[in-house]
């Protein structure tokens, strides 16, 4: 059975950028619910419970019709949020270095142009979804709790949750303010590590 991973920092650690209230509701509420519903969906299929979350959502065709949507939504939710907590850090912000910095500069001209391109896509997601940086340093979005893995893509290097539950209590409808604030807590060493392992 799948379990809720611990946050790698305290609920109040992201301070003025994402409140303790949001972090608690998002982790103990939303993420836990995805885990619970995923486990409930897989109750009758013990062979699928043996798979990793990556294996499960990379091959949704192997999931029986009657639970495929539940596994897609809740398995995606579990995988995406498990990554998301690690994409942030109370000591985050600033800029990446090394090969990742070089790659982003080569592709986008400069670091700020990358930030602008990613932020524009995040703000433009209609409804609920995610924006991702992929290992080839392209930027893509997915609706709902879909992952790039579901369409045969690689696991992302970085991603931002733009569901209203991720920001509404702190930023109301101003998603662009949330996106702007989020860059202050991005865990670049984690992204660099994922880029070097790609
Ligand atoms: Mn979320």
Q: pLDDT digits over 98-130, tens only?
A: 999 999 999 999 999 999 999 999 999 999 999
Domain that holds residue 77: 20-86
The pTM of the whole model exceeds 0.95: yes
Q: pLDDT digits over 30-68, tens only?
A: 999 999 999 999 999 999 999 999 999 999 999 999 999
Same domain, yes or no, for 192 and 103?
Answer: yes
Distance CA(181)–CA(18), nearest Å, equals 8
Same domain, yes or no, for 129 and 190?
Answer: yes
Cα of 160 vs centre of ligand 1, distance in Å, is 9
Cα of 30 vs centre of ligand 1, distance in Å, is 7
- The reported pLDDT for the residue numbered 133 is 98
Same domain, yes or no, for 182 and 103?
Answer: yes
Q: Please answer whether residues 76 and 145 qualify as being in contact, where contact means their C-beta atoms are separated by less than 8 angstroms.
A: yes
Same domain, yes or no, for 60 and 109?
Answer: no
Instruction: Output 42 or 15, whichever has higher pLDDT.
Output: 42
- The reported pLDDT for the residue numbered 2 is 97
Cα of 130 vs centre of ligand 1, distance in Å, is 9
Average pLDDT score over residue span 181-189: 98
Cα of 183 vs centre of ligand 1, distance in Å, is 17
Inside any domain, residue 1: no
Q: Would you tell me how many other CB atoms lie within 10 Å of the CB of residue 94? A: 10
Inside any domain, residue 39: yes
Cα of 23 vs centre of ligand 1, distance in Å, is 10
Average pLDDT score over residue span 137-148: 98
Cα of 145 vs centre of ligand 1, distance in Å, is 8
In the chain, % of residues over pLDDT 70: 100
Phi and psi for 130 in degrees, rounded to 5? -140, 155
Same domain, yes or no, for 53 and 131?
Answer: no
Same domain, yes or no, for 27 and 75?
Answer: yes
Inside any domain, residue 92: no
Cα of 78 vs centre of ligand 1, distance in Å, is 9
Same domain, yes or no, for 72 and 102?
Answer: no
| Residue 3 DSSP SS3 | coil
The CATH number linked to 54 is 1.10.287.990
Inside any domain, residue 4: no
Structural domains counted in the chain: 2
Same domain, yes or no, for 78 and 126?
Answer: no
Same domain, yes or no, for 177 and 120?
Answer: yes
- The reported pLDDT for the residue numbered 198 is 83
- The reported pLDDT for the residue numbered 9 is 98
- The reported pLDDT for the residue numbered 114 is 98
Distance CA(176)–CA(36), nearest Å, equals 31
Inside any domain, residue 170: yes
Q: Please answer whether residues 131 and 139 qualify as being in contact, where contact means their C-beta atoms are separated by less than 8 angstroms.
A: yes
Same domain, yes or no, for 72 and 107?
Answer: no
Cα of 179 vs centre of ligand 1, distance in Å, is 14
Cα of 106 vs centre of ligand 1, distance in Å, is 31
Same domain, yes or no, for 76 and 124?
Answer: no
- The reported pLDDT for the residue numbered 144 is 98
Inside any domain, residue 8: no
Inside any domain, residue 128: yes
Average pLDDT score over residue span 85-102: 97
Cα of 54 vs centre of ligand 1, distance in Å, is 18
């Amino acid at each position: 059975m799948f379990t809720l991973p611990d946050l790698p920092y305290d609920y109040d650690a992201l301070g003025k950028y994402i409140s303790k209230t949001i972090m608690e509701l998002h982790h103990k509420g939303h993420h836990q619910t995805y885990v619970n519903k995923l486990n409930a969906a897989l109750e009758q299929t013990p062979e699928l419970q043996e798979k990793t979350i990556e294996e499960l959502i990379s091959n949704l065709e192997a999931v029986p019709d009657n639970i495929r949507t539940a596994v897609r939504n809740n398995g995606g939710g579990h995988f995406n949020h498990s990554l998301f907590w690690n994409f942030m850090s109370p000591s985050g912000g600033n800029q990446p270095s090394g090969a990742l910095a070089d790659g982003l500069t080569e592709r986008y001209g400069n670091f700020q142009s990358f930030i602008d391109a990613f932020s524009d896509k995040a703000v433009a997601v209609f409804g609920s979804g995610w924006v991702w940086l992929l290992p080839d340093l392209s930027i893509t979005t997915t609706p709902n709790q879909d992952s790039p893995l579901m369409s045969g893509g690689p696991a992302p290097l970085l991603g931002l949750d733009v569901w209203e539950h991720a920001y509404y209590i702190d930023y109301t409808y101003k998603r662009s303010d949330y996106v702007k604030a989020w860059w202050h807590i991005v865990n670049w060493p984690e992204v660099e590590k994922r880029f070097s392992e790609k």
